[in-house]
Amino acid sequence: MSINIEDIVAGHVKDTDSFHFPFCHVQIPQFLVDIGITRFVIIEIAAAIVMAAIFLPLAVKIRGGRPARGRFWNMMEVFLLYMRDDVIVPSIGKKDAAPYIPYLWTLFFFVLFCNLAGMLPWAGSPTGSIMVTGILSICTLVIVTITGIIHHGAVGFWIGMIPPLEGTIGIVLAPFMFVLEIFSFLIKHCSLCIRLMANMFGGHLMVAVFLAFIPMSAWAVYAWIPITSIVIITVVCISFLELFVAFLQAYIFTFLTSVYIGMAIHQH
């Protein structure tokens, strides 16, 4: 039996212009012109709608300092308070963190919900695409740069990247240090993009490859039964790991964004 691994991967890992449900294939309409509406775009819009459906009512419930009532609302509040008090504020500083908390909360839950969408067989994880993680990283780069310029000035922010150097050797090394610091600044934000994409894409790719062993072994019953059993157990274990990675990568992306903002404010 000839099995095309690329088709299996495309069904879950790669972005496509259709949804593959268990018993039907749904093509995404493009209306009059092709405006680039893909499966990942729809999942991202769904993630944004889910966020609004959760946090707008939560904001109403806790308005005026009232406590959130109900297990679900308490759980959401725990996430918010943990990210604020143990991640964002320590990374940026209590004095300067307030303006960035809404963005970083939104960033965390958007990445998290996009990651969790990959747990659905018919959906996929938009954060497994470098186009999505690239845009998120560019947003972080823009915010960090604007923050640094606001706090240190258009020139002071870039010059402030150079560590303190004294004497003649400092004058000689300053240009080289400036170039290295610029490269380091850009590479740090590129690593945000690649780290998230690689973790999400790699996990789903592993699941797709393992699942491909099931139809590949269908040529013999005596091989298909044990291989299928082993594959199912392995995929279940990997799926639990992927669930953990979904939360971990959302945390890491938000934590590093907070750190980079803090570094832009408090240079050296």
The pLDDT of residue 172: 76
Per-residue pLDDT of the chain (268 residues; tens, 9 = 90+): 444 555 555 556 677 776 766 676 677 776 655 667 788 888 899 999 999 999 999 988 888 777 878 889 889 989 999 999 999 999 998 888 999 999 999 999 999 999 998 888 777 888 988 889 999 999 999 999 999 999 888 888 888 777 777 767 767 777 888 888 888 888 988 989 999 988 888 887 788 778 777 777 767 677 777 888 888 888 888 888 888 999 999 999 999 999 999 988 887 6
The pLDDT of residue 65: 75
The pLDDT of residue 33: 59
Q: How many other CB atoms are there within 10 angstroms of residue 49's CB atom?
A: 11
The pLDDT of residue 225: 78
The pLDDT of residue 61: 85
The pLDDT of residue 2: 46
**Amino acid code (one letter) for 237:** C
Range of the domain at 150: 5-265
Instruction: Give the global pTM.
Output: 0.85
The domain tally of the chain equals: 1
